Amino acid sequence: MLINKLLPILLYFLAGYLLKRSNVFRKDDGNLFLRAVVYLCLPAISFATFSRLELHITRLYPIITALLVIFGNFLFTRIYFRKVSINNHSNTVFLLSTLILNTSLILPFAQARWGDEGTATVLLFDIAHVALVFTFSYWAAMHYGNGRKGKAPISRILRLPPLWGIITGILVNIMSIPVPEFMYELSAIALKALIVLMMTALGLFFEFRLKHFRLVAGAILQRSLGGLLLGFVITWILGVEGVNRQMLLLISAAPVGFNTLVLTDLEDLDRDLAAEIVTTATLLAVIIIPLILLFI
C-alpha cells in the first residue's frame, strides 16, 4: 500500500526535528545532510534513471512547465506588489519564495507513488528550475532587493553533480552503452539514503515560529496555489493527460524551496521572514502531500 511507503518519509522528518530538540544534532547540521544529497545521492539517481528511461518528445513537457510556472508566478507577484506597499527587503523575499520550489521534497513522494517515472519527471522539471534559481531568481534578488546590477553565477549550474548525472545518463541511453549492474544497485542505495538525509534535514530546519502571518500565508498560497493553477493551464495547453499531468501538477504546487534562504542571505534581505515562509511551507507540505497522493 502507498501509505506504507509514505509513513517512513514522514517519520524521518519527525525524527530530524526531535533529534534537534534533543541536541543530538544542530540546525546547521542540516546543511551537511543536504550537501550529501546533492553530491552523493542525486548524481547516482539521475544517472540510473535517465540511462534506462524511454526518451521521447514529451520529456520536454516538465522543462516547459517549469519555465512557464516560474515566469507566470513572477508576473503575478509583480502585479500584486504594485498595489501593496511593503519595504523592498520583505517584498523581495516574498517574490523569491514564489519563484523557488522545493523539488527535493517532492522527489521521495513522487518516487514512492510513481517509481522511476515520478523521479524522472521531477528531475526534468528541476533542470529548468535550478537554471532559473541561479540566473533569473538571483537577478531578481539583486535587482529588487538592493537595486543593484550583477551577473548571476551560471558557472554554479554547470558544476552541479545532478546535472552531469542526467547528461551522462542520457548519453549512455542514446548510445546504448551497457551499464554494469552494480551502478543500478548503487542508485537503489542512493535513493534510500536520499529519503533519510533529505527528510531528516527538513526536520532539523523546521521551527515553530510565525511573526509575519499575512506575508507568510500570501507567499505560500502564491507559490503552491498559484503554481497549481498555472500548471493546470499549461498542461491543458500542452495536452498532457493522465498520470503525467498528475505528476506535473504536484510538482508545480511544490512548497517554497530552501534556496530562498540562500539568496536572501546572499543579498542581506529579511532572513527572519524567509525562514518563517520556508519552514511553514515545509510543514504544511509534509502533511498535505501524502493526503493528496492517497486520493489521486
For the chain, give every domain's residue range: 2-295
d(CA 19, CA 185): 30
Q: Give the per-residue pLDDT at 90.
A: 78
Provide the grid cell at 88: 523592498
**At 195, is the pLDDT very low, low, confident or very high (cuts 50, 70, 90)?**
confident
The model's confidence at residue 149, banded by pLDDT at 50, 70 and 90, is low
Nearest-angstrom CA–CA distance, 234 and 128 = 15
Q: Cα 134–246–124 angle (5° rounding)?
A: 30
Please report the pLDDT score of residue 232 as a whole number. Answer: 94
Per-residue model confidence (pLDDT) at position 251: 93
User: What's the DSSP call for residue 134?
Assistant: I
78-87, 111-120, 256-265: least confident range: 78-87
2 pLDDT band (50/70/90 cuts)? low
The larger pLDDT score, comparing residue 78 to residue 225, is at 225
pLDDT value at residue 74: 93
Among 19-33, 191-205, 214-228, the minimum mean pLDDT is found in 191-205
pLDDT at 8 over 80: no
Q: Which residue has the higher pLDDT, 58 or 74?
A: 74
* Whole-prediction pTM: 0.75
> Has residue 210 got a pLDDT over 80?
no
Asked if pLDDT for residue 5 goes beyond 70, the answer is no
Domain 2-295 has CATH 1.20.1530.20: yes
pLDDT of residue 231: 94
Residue 211 has pLDDT above 80, yes or no: no
Nearest to 102 by CA among 265, 261, 231, 266: 261
How does residue 254 score in pLDDT terms, banded at 50, 70 and 90?
Answer: very high
All three cell numbers of 143, joined, read: 535587482
Average pLDDT over residues 156-185: 84
Handedness of CA 263, 266, 269, 272 (dihedral sign): positive
Rounded Cα distance between 278 and 262, Å, is: 11
The reported pLDDT for the residue numbered 86 is 52
Residues 66-80 have a mean pLDDT of 90
pLDDT of 81 > 60? The answer is yes
- The answer to whether residue 9 scores a pLDDT higher than 90 is no
| In the predicted structure, residue 54 carries a pLDDT above the cut 80 | no
State how far the Cα of 168 lies from the Cα of 175, in Å rounded to an integer.
10
Mean pLDDT value across the chain: 83
- What percent of the chain has a predicted confidence (pLDDT) above 90? 20
